[in-house]
A and B are shown apart, each in its own frame.
Chain A
Amino acid sequence: MLKYIGRRTLQNVLIFIVFLSATFFLLQAQPGDISQQFLANPKITPEVREQFREQLGLGGTVGEQYLTYMGNFFTGNLGISFSEYPREVSDILAERLPRTLALFLFATLLSFGLGFQSGKFLAWRRGSKTEPVVTTVGVFFQTVFYPWFALMMIWAFAFGLGWFPIGKFLTVEKWLDAPPGVEANGVFNRMLITALIVLVGVAAVEVVGRRAGDRRRGKRITWAGRILLVGGLWIWWATVWSEQAPYALDIAWHLVLPTVTLALIGFGATMLLTRASMLETLKEDFILTARAKGVPDKVIRDKHAARNALLPVTTSLVLSLAFLIGGGVVTETVFSWPGMGATLLSAALQEDIPLTIGAFAFIAVLALIAHLIIDIVYMYLDPRIRV
């Protein structure tokens, strides 16, 4: 198992190097060099440009330039942004990364959970009357022109109904008189850490419960663990981080609509696929065996059919990853959510090459890591490929 993960990680690192090299050669193919960008910006003086050329080794041969480029990248030296001069690219990205991570994580979980559950129920009560409706809804979410859909969501839920703010990361007026220790990135990182603790904690508690030996005791352990985890974090926020809590809520309120919107585009495909996969699984012999054993229908649906239908759906998540990342860029742009995707886009529009490449590389890393995680989850789910 560890060997497998190791091999996959290595593969992913190699893929990443190929990516980076490809971008390097694309840059090489450009007329002039990237230090020639933003000639009109008075802040970027010729000295700065010279310094920049030095840093990138632009004087040397192509081979030397390539080595400097790769070396710089792996030592975390991504250069200076032109459009947000004089900020370091790595500094900008470090600020934006958690925001994208949160959006992406919640949206993926939500769309997967929602799509899987509804696909499961639809397959279970396979009425042919609902079929066209289900297909239409699924296909709509799968093929709707996403930017337009996102705009319509804002229009309906933020502008029309007023349930959510119209984009942005936080409500500026509310933050003006924030106490000195409270600062947006700090609050947001705390939120993200909390979410990650909950996720990892719930999974860990689940595994411990499974390993408990006795089923009933396992169940008790699982529940106790969940309650302890959530209760503990709640108390922590209520006491230690009580100053940050109302501001965290403000950010969370801004996060809801973009998350739901992004989740909805993945939802259709997951639902349709789960339904098809579940219908296929229901024809398997082991479902008949389970019925013959006298297992209740609900258990057959969840424990036998859905559990097996989950496998192809998980595999397809790899394919929809690229799709979701693209959706993430659009979501961030439309909702003015200042994450990696919006950064990438605005950098590209302003031809701020260092920032574009940096943001792109980090998005690629994100995709590769997500891919690796899905691989590991799949391995956990399917004993046939566990080694």
Chain B
Amino acid sequence: MTDRLVDPDPSAAPNMADVVAEPLWQVRLRLFWQGLRSGWSSFAESRIGLVGLGVIVLFGIMAMIQPILIGTVWEPAIYDPVLGYDAVVVEKTIVPDNEVTDPATQIDLFSARLLDPLLQVGDTLVVTVQPAPPSRQHLLGTDPLGRDVLSQLMFSTRAAFMLGIVAALVTVFIATTVGAVSAFFGGAVDTLFMRLADLIILVPFLPILIVLSALIDFQLFHLALLIGVLGGFGGTAIILKSQALSVSVKPFIDAARIAGGGHLHVIFRHIIPNVLPLSFLYMMFSVTDAISAEATLSFLGLLNIDMSWGIMIHQAWDQGYLLDPNRWWLMVPAGMSVTLLAGSFFLVGRAMDEIINPRLRRR
């Protein structure tokens, strides 16, 4: 039986002694690797899942190369996402009032005379523009304060990843533990945690964060923790508990108990490993939630942080650039980024859902 596990080909099969000598962790590792491979091949069947993963990787690369670019090609004084400044200068021809056909190269006489009353129609004028449109130096233009939008975008990606992952890890750690513990012990412990989860589900999430931000000085890390805690004790705990419950009634759990496994041993060695795939799935959804929550809060101006996608949109909106289609680079890249990254984690989650949840698996 044992050698079957290893290799079906007798000529290549290691002899019994080798098999036994192979340390347990190696067997585990190999089994894990096999599981991962088969999981991957099912995942690769899902086109949306692959697209999602691709986008995530792309953003990951963006996040990583920004500090490298700052150190090499990008002058920090200009390209720093928060403190940088570049006065983009443009030459504009002065035309009579109301005859401006191309605002990128022309300026009307009235505006020009505000700068220098002696100017005439036909003169050229050198003006600094902020926000400046996309150019060679600034691929996505500059913001109203003369900072490079692309650099901001890339810098914010790192923050988004960090926030999303911290929040998701906290969520899943709490939810898995709570789920396993309440499934294993049942009774009062279960009731307590489940009522708490009901309560948290009912809490309007955003209003709570708004109230808290009025009371506390919110940093990104606090936010990640808070989102993680609320998520972990909330809906995710309920879902993971029902999964843990279906595991904890299986015979091998009883076997482990009879064999004298302590509570903790059974929970951590037997129940949690079986809940983990589902936990991992909900981690994806938690990342989505965390990224959107952060962006929304920064957009509303409630977070005390320097730069993020939400803040980029907040500033553009705050300074009245919303309704100017010529200034698209102020709002579109940041908004798209939030949507794309949050959506990608969601897509990956959905694709994993189809693998993990056999009920949804088709045919």
- Residues of A bordering B, CB below 8 Å: 15, 18-19, 23, 26-27, 29-30, 132, 135-136, 139-140, 142-149, 151-152, 154-155, 159-160, 166, 276, 318-319, 321-323, 325-326, 329-330, 333, 341, 344-345, 347-349, 351, 353, 356-357, 360, 363-364, 367-368, 371
Note all chain B residues with C-beta closer than 8 A to A325. Answer: 204, 206-207
**Interface contact B210-A155, CB-CB below 8 Å:** no
**Interface contact B343-A144, CB-CB below 8 Å:** yes
* Min distance, Cβ B294 to any Cβ of chain A, angstroms: 10
Is the CB of B106 closer than 8 A to any CB of chain A? no
Task: List which B188-224 residues lie within 8 A (CB) of chain A.
Answer: 199, 201-208, 210-215
Task: List which B143-161 residues lie within 8 A (CB) of chain A.
Answer: none
**Interface contact A367-B339, CB-CB below 8 Å:** no
Task: List which B272-327 residues lie within 8 A (CB) of chain A.
Answer: 288, 292, 295-296, 299-302, 309-310, 313, 317, 322-323, 325
* Min distance, Cβ B89 to any Cβ of chain A, angstroms: 29
Contact of A155 among B48, B323, B347 (CB under 8 A): B323
**Interface contact B199-A363, CB-CB below 8 Å:** no
Note all chain A residues with C-beta closer than 8 A to B183. Answer: none
**Interface contact A330-B300, CB-CB below 8 Å:** yes
Contact of B204 among A146, A152, A367 (CB under 8 A): A367
Note all chain A residues with C-beta closer than 8 A to B39. Answer: none
**Interface contact B292-A146, CB-CB below 8 Å:** yes
Closest 10 CB pairs of A and B: A326-B206, A148-B335, A145-B338, A348-B214, A143-B343, A325-B204, A147-B299, A145-B339, A348-B210, A143-B342
Q: How far is the CA of A204 from the CA of B292 in the complex (A)?
A: 40
**Interface contact A360-B211, CB-CB below 8 Å:** yes
**Interface contact B292-A132, CB-CB below 8 Å:** no
Is the CB of B241 closer than 8 A to any CB of chain A? no
Q: How far is the CA of A333 from the CA of B314 in the complex (A)?
A: 12
Q: How far is the CA of A155 from the CA of B343 in the complex (A)?
A: 22
**Interface contact A152-B335, CB-CB below 8 Å:** yes
Note all chain A residues with C-beta closer than 8 A to B325. Answer: 155, 160
**Interface contact B215-A27, CB-CB below 8 Å:** yes
Task: List which B218-245 residues lie within 8 A (CB) of chain A.
Answer: 235
Note all chain B residues with C-beta closer than 8 A to A23. Answer: 211
- Given contacts A148-B331, A276-B360, A357-B211, is CB(A143)–CB(B339) below 8 Å? yes
Is the CB of B47 closer than 8 A to any CB of chain A? yes
**Interface contact B48-A132, CB-CB below 8 Å:** yes
Is the CB of B346 closer than 8 A to any CB of chain A? yes
Note all chain B residues with C-beta closer than 8 A to A353. Answer: 214-215
Task: List which B135-186 residues lie within 8 A (CB) of chain A.
Answer: none
Please name the residue on chain B nearest to A355 by beta carbon: B214
- Given contacts A139-B347, A148-B335, A356-B214, is CB(A368)–CB(B202) below 8 Å? yes
Contact of A145 among B47, B301, B335 (CB under 8 A): B335
- Residues of B bordering A, CB below 8 Å: 47-48, 199, 201-208, 210-215, 235, 288, 292, 295-296, 299-302, 309-310, 313, 317, 322-323, 325, 331, 334-335, 338-339, 342-343, 346-347, 350, 360
Note all chain B residues with C-beta closer than 8 A to A349. Answer: 214, 300-302
**Interface contact A333-B212, CB-CB below 8 Å:** no
* Min distance, Cβ A174 to any Cβ of chain B, angstroms: 22
Note all chain B residues with C-beta closer than 8 A to A326. Answer: 204-207, 296
* Min distance, Cβ A337 to any Cβ of chain B, angstroms: 15
Note all chain A residues with C-beta closer than 8 A to B214. Answer: 347-349, 351, 353, 356
Note all chain B residues with C-beta closer than 8 A to A143. Answer: 288, 292, 339, 342-343, 346
**Interface contact A140-B343, CB-CB below 8 Å:** yes
Contact of A146 among B199, B296, B322 (CB under 8 A): B296
Note all chain B residues with C-beta closer than 8 A to A145. Answer: 292, 295-296, 309, 313, 335, 338-339, 342
Most A CB within 10 A of own CB, among B47, B207, B334: B207
**Interface contact B339-A322, CB-CB below 8 Å:** no
* Min distance, Cβ A320 to any Cβ of chain B, angstroms: 10
- Given contacts A19-B203, A166-B323, is CB(A329)–CB(B210) below 8 Å? yes
Q: How far is the CA of A27 from the CA of B288 in the complex (A)?
A: 31
Q: How far is the CA of A143 from the CA of B292 in the complex (A)?
A: 8
Please name the residue on chain B nearest to A159 by beta carbon: B323
**Interface contact B350-A139, CB-CB below 8 Å:** yes
* Min distance, Cβ A57 to any Cβ of chain B, angstroms: 20
Q: How far is the CA of A336 from the CA of B93 in the complex (A)?
A: 39
Q: How far is the CA of A29 from the CA of B212 in the complex (A)?
A: 12
Q: How far is the CA of A323 from the CA of B199 in the complex (A)?
A: 15
Note all chain A residues with C-beta closer than 8 A to B322. Answer: 151, 154-155
Q: How far is the CA of A322 from the CA of B323 in the complex (A)?
A: 30
Note all chain A residues with C-beta closer than 8 A to B360. Answer: 276
**Interface contact B302-A348, CB-CB below 8 Å:** yes
Please name the residue on chain A nearest to B288 by beta carbon: A143
Contact of B300 among A18, A345, A360, A363 (CB under 8 A): A345
Q: How far is the CA of A154 from the CA of B350 in the complex (A)?
A: 31
Most B CB within 10 A of own CB, among A155, A276, A322: A322
Note all chain B residues with C-beta closer than 8 A to A15. Answer: 199, 202
Q: What are 9 A-B contacts defined by CB distance under 8 Å?
A: A144-B343, A159-B323, A166-B323, A321-B204, A322-B201, A326-B205, A348-B302, A349-B302, A356-B211
Please name the residue on chain A nearest to B338 by beta carbon: A145
Note all chain B residues with C-beta closer than 8 A to A140. Answer: 339, 343
Please name the residue on chain A nearest to B334 by beta carbon: A148
- Given contacts A135-B48, A347-B214, is CB(A322)–CB(B204) below 8 Å? yes
Please name the residue on chain B nearest to A330 by beta carbon: B296
Please name the residue on chain A nearest to B362 by beta carbon: A279
Note all chain A residues with C-beta closer than 8 A to B213. Answer: 348
Q: How far is the CA of A319 from the CA of B205 in the complex (A)?
A: 11
Contact of A148 among B323, B339, B343 (CB under 8 A): B339
* Min distance, Cβ B344 to any Cβ of chain A, angstroms: 9
Please name the residue on chain B nearest to A353 by beta carbon: B214
* Min distance, Cβ B180 to any Cβ of chain A, angstroms: 22
Note all chain B residues with C-beta closer than 8 A to A139. Answer: 48, 343, 346-347, 350
* Min distance, Cβ A100 to any Cβ of chain B, angstroms: 11
- Given contacts A139-B343, A348-B214, A349-B301, is CB(A147)–CB(B296) below 8 Å? yes
Note all chain A residues with C-beta closer than 8 A to B292. Answer: 143, 145-146
Note all chain A residues with C-beta closer than 8 A to B331. Answer: 148, 151
Q: How far is the CA of A23 from the CA of B215 in the complex (A)?
A: 10
* Min distance, Cβ A353 to any Cβ of chain B, angstroms: 7
